[in-house]
Amino acid sequence: MRYYLVVANQTLGHPQLIDTIVACTETGPCRFHLVVPATQSHAYDHTRWTRAEATAIARCRLEATLARLKRLGLAVSGEVGDPSPIMAIDEVLNRTRFDALILSTLPVGASRWLRRGLPQRIERLFHLPVRLVVCGARGGDVDLPRAEAAGPPLERVPRATVDVGS
């Protein structure tokens, strides 16, 4: 069984992401764990943003998407994570081993995650294949430049892993 970590916030319930998740199941049994970094949304006034509001918004998105994926018959769990996507991913990877990561973002230009090179940083830091889904972009999935092209991997302290049964 393959185990996927899905990282998204504003695009969590987007049809392109849902289609990507469902497509993974066509190659065999899968489990998915959604992590929603409680990041500030572009849709809200930046001067009045609070962490509690971001967490509440992330939790609503998570609950709605978990319910939708469960109705589709998928094995799925999830949590709201740290506002920093890197920290949110690290916290989950410290507990569980995954085969791959699906990262869902807003389109190029609107996405802070893409502007900051998040997909390449994830591959370098965590040595985990990343499938990038750019929601709202033509074609959806984007070819991700290999992390090796961005420089050598950063040193990481080995972590204990928990094997997920099949």
pLDDT of residue 47 exceeding 90: no
Instruction: Convert the pLDDT of each residue in 56-81 to its tens digit.
Output: 999 999 999 999 999 999 999 999 99
Identify which of 147, 157, 106, 151 has the alpha carbon closest to the alpha carbon of residue 127: 147
Report pTM: 0.79
Instruction: Convert the pLDDT of each residue in 121-143 to its tens digit.
Output: 999 999 999 999 999 854 444 33
C-alpha 147, offset from chain centre: 17
Q: What percent of the chain has pLDDT over 70?
A: 77
The answer to whether 129 touches 7, Cβ cutoff 8 Å, is no
Instruction: Convert the pLDDT of each residue in 90-104 to its tens digit.
Output: 999 999 999 999 999
Q: How far is CA 115 from CA 7, 11, 16, 82, 107, in A?
A: 16, 16, 20, 19, 10
